[in-house]
Amino acid sequence: IPAINKAVKRTKGVKIIDLYKALAPHPELLPDGVHPNAEGAKLMAEAIYNQIK
């Protein structure tokens, strides 16, 4: 994923929103280790909103 992120960052007009960074400190929000629960989805939405506002 880091290599993909680097390639995408070089693409003009494309922005990456790092949801891993938002969720990593809160593993309890990913009950199965992959999919967020409702609180995790809210945290993801807030991270996205903060990047696109």
How far is Cα 38 from Cα 22, in angstroms, rounded to an integer? Answer: 15
Supply the pLDDT for residue 8.
87
Kindly list the domain boundaries of the chain, sorted by start residue: 15-52
Residue 1 has pLDDT above 80, yes or no: no
Name which residue leads in pLDDT, 7 or 26.
26
pLDDT tens sequence across 8-48: 888 888 888 889 999 999 999 999 999 999 999 999 999 99
- Name the pTM for this structure: 0.76
Supply the pLDDT for residue 10.
86
